Amino acid sequence: MRRGLIRTAAWILGSLASLMVLFVVVGLALPHTVEVTRSVTLDASPAEVFPHLDDLEAWTAWTPWGDVESHIEGNSRGTGAARVWDDPNLGSGTLTITNVAPLRSVDYRAEVEGGLTFLGTLSVRPEGPGTSLVWTESVSWGMNPLMGWTGLTLGNAQGRQLEGSLDRLRRLVAGSNGPNPPGR
């Protein structure tokens, strides 16, 4: 009887170990990068839209940043502008505008606690009387098998977040017919 119990326990432990190895191997085989692209056409010129994009303070009106405990370090606008957060729900990190091509694009980098780095680009171009805005964001997590599994849902979650932000921006631009920030 004791021998049967040991054999059963060994089989259970062996099965669990096999499942763990399978989990890690499959996690390593899953994609290590997620890239999400969403777009919207806005009823405003690029000159009316762009001040919402190159100013991190303006992001609070149309992105989730208005709901995050964060602050701007230094200038809020242009290359080098940075938003730092330490939020109980999101952890901590820094979002930095890395490049601005006036009336064309804004590139940014978000470094998140735990080693994730998101790279994003907001690109604008005239489209008829309005503006086409394309938002692309990507994240890579290297050879982390757990993140491989997380990545299966991350793209959809990021896509929904970008879509919601673009919809808020569309409504904001339509309602204000473009901002008139100081100094511009």
- Whether the CB-CB separation of 138 and 151 falls below 8 Å is answered with no
How many CB atoms sit inside 10 A of residue 69's CB?
11
pLDDT of residue 184: 34
- Whether the CB-CB separation of 105 and 122 falls below 8 Å is answered with yes
The pTM for the full model equals 0.78
Q: Three-class SS string for the chain?
A: CHHHHHHHHHHHHHHHHHHHHHHHHHHHHCCCEEEEEEEEEECCCHHHHHHHHCEHHHHCCCCHHHHCCEEEECCCECCCCEEEEEECCCEEEEEEEEEEECCCEEEEEEEECCCEEEEEEEEEEEECCEEEEEEEEEEECCCCHHHHHHHHHHHHHHHHHHHHHHHHHHHHHHHHCCCCCCCC
Separation of alpha carbons 91 and 89, rounded Å: 6
Q: Give residue 181's pLDDT band: very low, low, confident or very high (50, 70, 90).
A: very low
pLDDT in tens, 25-83: 766 666 678 889 999 999 999 999 999 999 999 999 999 877 888 899 999 999 999 99
DSSP-derived pairing of the beta strands 82-87 and 70-73: antiparallel
In terms of Cα–Cα distance, which of 118, 5, 106, 94 is closest to 46? 106
pLDDT in tens, 101-160: 999 999 999 998 877 889 999 999 999 999 999 999 998 776 676 666 666 677 788 889
Nearest 5°: the CA angle 144, 147, 151 is: 135
pLDDT at 161 over 80: yes
pLDDT at 178 over 70: no
